[in-house]
Amino acid sequence: MSAAALDQVSATERPAAEVARIAALHRFAIQALLFSKEAEQITNLLIGRFGVKAVSLAFMDGDMLRFKPKVPGAKGELPRNSALCRETIATGKTIVVEDLTKDARFRDNSNVTTRPYLRFFASAPIKIDNEYSIGALVLVDTEPRHFPNSSTLLLEQIADRVVPWLLNPSGRTSPF
């Protein structure tokens, strides 16, 4: 089911796969992890690595997207229908948009047309149990930017390591 279609479905009418995805997210103890120092470490390292304004670990919980750390000017959560990464989470596929104002899927999104006036967006799915896309590793910037295939591959590789890195507090090695 597409992200747009999921936006229109009430909590009681969600497909079984979406219910299972949300259950996997809750097993992941998302609230505790969003406020962990590890989440902040990952995002701070990736801001430098990719040279973007903000990096977020974003997790879709029912009708809300929760993310950490906060994007400048953001509240730390968004309704599902205004989250740029909802398609990544729904499909489990990486999305890169070098200029959001030129992409019909995103140019009318409030994050593009009003503060923070985002222009660049890239997101790779964060999966648990190699099956459920519970969130996305998101890069955003207020300027359009070129994002080569090698950067997309690196983003996907890091996203694949986020869950094991956050869940293994002892003996952790950097996902970078």
Determine the Cα–Cα distance for residues 138 and 155; give it in Å rounded to an integer: 9
Tell me which residue of 96, 171, 98, 92 sits closest to 128, measured CA to CA: 92
Query: Bigger pLDDT: 77 or 103?
Result: 103
122-160 pLDDT tens trace: 999 998 877 788 889 999 999 999 999 999 999 999 998
pLDDT band at 23 (very low <50, low <70, confident <90, very high): confident
Q: How far apart are CA 159 and CA 35, in angstroms?
A: 18
* Contacts of 23 by beta carbon, 8 Å cutoff, 6+ apart: none
Q: Provide the CA 17 distance to its chain's centre, in angstroms.
A: 19
Confidence category of residue 20, pLDDT binned at 50, 70, 90: confident
Domains of the chain: 3-167 (3.30.450.40)
d(CA 176, CA 163): 13
How do residues 85-119 score in pLDDT, each as one tens digit? Answer: 999 998 999 999 999 999 999 999 999 999 889 99
| 2-16 burial: b if 16+ Cβ within 10 Å, else e | ebeebeeeeeeebee
Q: Using CA atoms, how far apart are residues 112 and 21, in angstroms rounded to an integer?
A: 28
Assigned token pair, 20: 């299972």
- CA 135 – CA 21 distance, rounded (Å): 10
| % of the chain exceeding 90 in pLDDT | 41
Residue whose structure tokens are 């995002």: 43
Do 6 and 79 touch, CB atoms closer than 8 A?
no
Euclidean distance between CA atoms 135 and 97, whole angstroms: 18
Report the share of the chain in percent with pLDDT over 70: 76
Contact 36, 137 (CB under 8 A): no
Mean pLDDT of the chain: 81
Residue 7: pLDDT band with limits 50, 70, 90? very low
> What is the value of pTM for the model shown?
0.79
